[in-house]
Amino acid sequence: MRPYVEKRGAKYRVRARGDDGKLIPLGSGYDTAEDAEQAGWEAIIAMGRKEWVDPRKGDTTLHEWAEAWLPAQDVRRSTLDQYGYLIRTFILPFFGSRSLTSLAEADNEINAWEKQVATKYAASTAAAARARLATMLGDAAKRRLIARNPAERQRGRGRKGDNRLEDAKEEAWTDPLGALLIAERAALLTGRDDEFVMLITDAYTGMRFGELIGLERQYVRLSQIRVEWQLYQLNSGAIIRTPPKDGSRRSLDIPPFLSDLLSRQRQANPGPATQSREICACVKDMEPGEFGHPVDVHLFRGPAVSRPRLGAVPMSEVARIAGVSATTVSNVFNRPDIVKPETVARIRQIMKEVGFTGQQTQQTHSPHWRRDGFRTWVMTPATEGRYPAKGKHPAHPVPVMDGVPVRGRGASKRATESWLPITPGLTVHGLRHSHKTWMQEDEIHQILQHDRLGHEMDGIGATYTHVTPAMRRKLLDALTRRWEDALRRRAQLWPRSRVVMLDGLLESYRSAYRRYRTVVDLCGAQIISHSVPSGHGKAHHPFQVAGF
């Protein structure tokens, strides 16, 4: 076999004749015949070493390769869904129409693409998208569909300082008082104890968010929580039940105070007397037998929602019959003094005839919290004291009046107070970081730390070291001390709480403090309460206090 050089216009190409007698293209676009011949000999040598990539196979587009590659991946359903999201959202819109051959030297294009994605999304999202592209092209290179993997990141390249800053932003954590204040605010935001107990459980067990919302009543025991399942939200919106991440099923010891809180939560949300066989609708179009779960089996409920009351007559129907606007009907029902008396009498008669009561909706709750909804409406306002920007609505402070968040139209005008930040940037996962940090401070053995978080410990220590009852007792004692100290420091800030459950927990600490002007150090930030005398029968909350 030898190369044949041909001039095509102003450039040269090189080919060779294969065993079947057909000409094989070895390269094109060379400026001189010598360059083309040299490239031809290099390609023939690479063939002998079985290192040569046939450019005809590289005509496959990245879109075609992705369609063949993705279904072949042997990963969990949730991981496959994440792969598909990254490929469809970030990779194919930029490179889908490109042939694999044309991407072989596209290192600079891929670097620029990653930077562009990072300007609109989190840097971690851009890095994850590049990692999927690198995996796809790496598999293509193994099959000799492409000469090399241009998406593979070279070590020692890039600005290390920026990466370290990005990592630092993801490591927000808080101390036990911060966790208590955030949980208290969460309960005030939702108007119930579910979120208070859920966040305290997270801080003192290190459970993942999916494991928390997927915690079923049957796995909550007197001194332990059994982590058997998690609920995972797919990009389609479906929520499926799967084993915990990396198969980390485990039993978590819980201190007595947490056992008591979980028992109260179970009493507040006991579920049906008999377990239903109905599958929760959150699974959507996924296979119910594999990913579904019965309704009302979880300890923590989703957010409260208003749903249309069955058989209720809508206000619009009354307005249509009366020949007035729905606003006029609303005014008759709520503010009749601003409507003409004859109109009020006529509309009230119509209301009586059609059976309009004004109660068109009923309060219920969604089956589960979704990660984005919990972050937007609970976690961010609780930790930072402000709702995050969403769509056309900018970020704005949580309006507070008499210690309770104000809701409804004109809430910001009616508010007299606002919340100071507690731990900006803290997420639900950050409470898991906090739990790990507390265990490290309390000198809990590494084998128990890994076991509690559902991680695998590497090395010979993992083989020959085991969790002992003494280790477990030490951990529970340390968590109990942290909880009691958090309650004491919380009572020192202000002895009452609008959260009924927490107010009862503060009862034994109230008599210790009579005047409250205290500087409390919270992870390096000082939160100052105002000087307010005790003796109030009902808690009145100072302006801009830390979280209550």
* Three-state SS at 388: coil
Mean pLDDT lowest among 128-132, 149-153, 353-357, 466-470: 353-357
Using the predicted structure, report yes or no on whether residue 476 has a pLDDT greater than 60. Answer: yes
Summarize pLDDT for 385-401 with one digit per residue, the tens.
999 998 888 999 999 98
Mean pLDDT lowest among 13-22, 105-114, 456-465: 13-22
User: What pLDDT sits at residue 538?
Assistant: 34
Comparing CA positions, the residue from 81, 78, 76, 95 lying closest to residue 136 is: 95
CATH architecture of the domain with residue range 3-52: 2-Layer Sandwich (3.30)
Q: Quick one: fold of 62-156? A: DNA polymerase; domain 1 (1.10.150)
Average pLDDT over residues 204-223: 96
Structure token pair of residue 33? 């015949």
Domain ranges of the chain: 3-52, 62-156, 174-300+427-458+465-522, 313-359
User: What pLDDT sits at residue 539?
Assistant: 34
User: What pLDDT sits at residue 390?
Assistant: 85
> What pTM does this model have?
0.72
Instruction: Note the CATH number of domain 313-359.
Output: 1.10.260.40
CB contact at 8 A, 240 and 231: yes
Question: Residue 293's pLDDT band (boundaries 50, 70, 90)?
Answer: confident
Comparing CA positions, the residue from 301, 416, 283, 315 lying closest to residue 369 is: 301
Question: One fold for both 62-156 and 313-359?
Answer: no
User: What pLDDT sits at residue 545?
Assistant: 39
Comparing CA positions, the residue from 490, 492, 504, 503 lying closest to residue 532 is: 492
State the average pLDDT for the chain.
84
Using the predicted structure, report yes or no on whether residue 51 has a pLDDT greater than 70. Answer: no
User: What pLDDT sits at residue 454?
Assistant: 94
Question: Residue 54's pLDDT band (boundaries 50, 70, 90)?
Answer: low
* DSSP 8-state assignment for residue 513: -
Summarize pLDDT for 56-83 with one digit per residue, the tens.
555 788 998 999 999 999 888 888 889 9
User: What pLDDT sits at residue 271?
Assistant: 81
Give me the percent of the chain exceeding a pLDDT of 90. 47
Question: Residue 486's pLDDT band (boundaries 50, 70, 90)?
Answer: very high
User: What pLDDT sits at residue 168?
Assistant: 46
DSSP letters for 312-355: PPPHHHHHHHHTS-HHHHHHHHH-GGGS-HHHHHHHHHHHHHHT
Neighbouring residues of 216: CB distance < 8 A, sequence distance ≥ 6: 228, 229, 293, 297, 298, 299
Q: How far apart are CA 439 and CA 274, in angstroms?
A: 40
User: What pLDDT sits at residue 543?
Assistant: 35
In terms of pLDDT, which residue wins out, 455 or 31? 455
In terms of pLDDT, which residue wins out, 8 or 499? 499
Using the predicted structure, report yes or no on whether residue 536 has a pLDDT greater than 60. Answer: no
As to burial, measured by CB atoms within 10 angstroms (0-12 exposed, 13-18 middle, 19+ buried), residue 370 is: middle
User: What pLDDT sits at residue 90?
Assistant: 95
User: What pLDDT sits at residue 519?
Assistant: 46
Summarize pLDDT for 18-39 with one digit per residue, the tens.
777 788 777 777 788 888 888 7
Show the DSSP H helices in 174-314 as ranges. 176-190, 194-205, 209-213, 256-268, 288-291
Give me the percent of the chain exceeding a pLDDT of 70. 86
